[in-house]
Chains A and B, each alone.
Chain A
Amino acid sequence: DQQVKQNSPSLSVQEGRISILNCDYTNSMFDYFLWYKKYPAEGPTFLISISSIKDKNEDGRFTVFLNKSAKHLSLHIVPSQPGDSAVYFCAALMNRDDKIIFGKGTRLHILP
């Protein structure tokens, strides 16, 4: 069963506009949620995380919002830049066992 879901395989956004990437989860016991960016044939790079006790975390152009009642989080990128074109993975971590579960990813295309 898939505990972390990214239901949009791809997303296209105009350069300079806001990119919103969504993620849903099923297990209310997760302690942290993380976002990673991945280019082809490279390892994912960590972008931003949020603790389950918070509802927002911001770092530069990246903001993550957490809605625990809906078991939903989103990553906002503002403004979107050409270098943001990549696959974005949502992940969830439980401190009980330090296991990190990833979604299937969303491919973001930034259009000129």
Chain B
Amino acid sequence: SQTIHQWPATLVQPVGSPLSLECTVEGTSNPNLYWYRQAAGRGLQLLFYSVGIGQISSEVPQNLSASRPQDRQFILSSKKLLLSDSGFYLCAWMDRGRRNTIYFGEGSWLTVV
């Protein structure tokens, strides 16, 4: 069966520090991968998605970036965090054979102080 893991689960970082959140999917190949953020009052905001290695689509202008160095690995990064980057970050995957549902990881809480 397919599983998705993201880490770290909780992170407290000072303003201006770098960020790296990692997501890995197991039990499938060539999935679509997604990063979402849930901030207060804004629902689930799509940040990045990827349909293949090295292919990244960015949805929101910001100081975050994403990379997909391997087929089942998706990384969310920042060189310098802002207070407004605080939120609950969610990784998700889609089976490209079905392409009608995405499945989420457990989420990562980021607090920028």
Contacts and interface: CB of A to CB of B under 8 A. Distances in A.
Looking at chain B's contact residues, the main secondary structure is strand
Given A41-B88, A98-B51, A99-B46, A104 B41 contact: yes
Given A89-B43, A102-B43, A44 B104 contact: yes
B19 interface: no
Most chain-A CB neighbours within 10 Å: which of B90, B101, B103, B109? B101
Interface residues of A, number: 26
Contacts of B90: 43-44
Given A41-B88, A42-B106, A44-B90, A49 B101 contact: yes
Most chain-A CB neighbours within 10 Å: which of B44, B94, B96, B102? B44
B85 to A, nearest CB: 18
A101 B45 CA distance: 8
A45 interface: yes
Given A43-B90, A98-B94, A102-B36, A34 B43 contact: no
A104 B88 contact: no
A36 B90 CA distance: 14
Interface in B54-113: 57, 59, 88, 90, 92, 94, 96, 99-107, 109
Contact of A44 (B41, B44, B46): B44
B99 A105 contact: no
Given A100-B102, A104-B41, 4 more contacts: A36-B104, A42-B107, A43-B90, A100-B94
Top 5 closest pairs, chain A to chain B, by CB: A104-B43, A43-B104, A102-B44, A32-B100, A43-B107
